Amino acid sequence: MPQPDSIPSAQNLPPQTPRTSTPALRTGIILAAGNNERFQRHYGSDFVKQRLQIEKQPLLIRIMDQLESLDCSRLIIVAGNHAPALQELTASKYTGNAKLTWVTNTSIERANGYSLHLGLQAWLQGTNTEPYQNLKSTSAIEPNTESYCHLVMSDHVYDEAFTKGVQDHLRNNLQGSTLFVDSKTDQIFDLDDATKVQHENGCLVSLGKSLMSYNAIDTGWFILDKKCKEITEALEQHQRQFGVSSVVEAYLKHYPFYCQSIDSGLWQDVDNPAMFEAAQELFS
């Protein structure tokens, strides 16, 4: 198992050139294993925020449909304690044709970087760790040769202009692992809670909630390549708890990580009731 220090440094890698065509990108990983603690304080332990609706559509179903609109034919949903409720939601509300793989995170205290680790395993190894039955569509995917996958959060809301920006990037500019960012930092709801980003010439420099110097905000939508799996494997072995930002930071020490601004689209994180109210207003 590779350790973080054993992975080649980015400064020793040859420079990458922009791609002129999009590689196979047919899988979307959706992280949905959180306990919704900030909502549960208000609504109780059985509350499932992915059921909340924006434009009459549950959050989880909305992001599933958007990934499918980007030609994703496989959706890997990493769920935690609310997995049965989310499974029931997709069975009743999801009308798309993508194959669904349910991955259960039984260690949600390890944070969403560990959920990403499980999702990447399912993507690259064809692993099916789903114990539940009666899925709407097949829960297994075959091992694949895809170079990239989407990563999104089940509680983020995006509009059509945002997903068009993702699509345009895939068609024209994909270079490697990429974070989509928003440079309109003065328009972010609850900036203190947002993950800040510093990037230069399209390359990520640093990210984190406590950054003092930043020029964009992490929107929660990523394109990841296969090298992310070796990073999460190393972190899984050496850290009990790690987030997606920790994965990106570790990746950045060894490989270039790119940023793409999408400033024409709308998006909103839904971490608490106030953010949901902001999302309802934004998308009304």
With beta carbons less than 8 A apart as the criterion, state whether 275 and 190 touch.
yes
pLDDT of residue 14: 42
pLDDT of residue 17: 43
Sign for the CA dihedral angle at 245, 247, 248, 249 comes to positive
Domains, the chain, ranges and CATH? 24-282 (3.90.550.10)
pLDDT of residue 34: 85
pLDDT of residue 191: 95
Q: What is the pLDDT along the chain (284 residues), one digit of tens a residue?
A: 445 555 545 444 444 444 444 566 899 999 999 877 777 677 767 889 999 999 999 999 999 999 999 999 999 999 999 999 999 999 999 999 999 999 999 999 999 999 999 999 999 985 444 433 333 344 444 545 689 999 999 999 999 999 999 999 998 878 899 999 999 999 999 999 999 999 999 999 999 999 999 999 999 999 999 999 999 999 999 999 999 999 999 999 999 999 999 988 999 999 988 999 999 999 98
pLDDT of residue 224: 97
With tokens 């944070």, the residue in question is 111
pLDDT of residue 126: 58
Helices (H), 70-210: 83-93, 112-125, 160-172
SS3 145: coil
pLDDT of residue 37: 73
pLDDT of residue 42: 74
Distance between CA atoms of residues 86 and 100, nearest Å: 12
- Which residues is 259 bridged to in the sheet? 179
With beta carbons less than 8 A apart as the criterion, state whether 209 and 198 touch.
no
SS3 217: strand
Sign for the CA dihedral angle at 191, 193, 195, 197 comes to positive
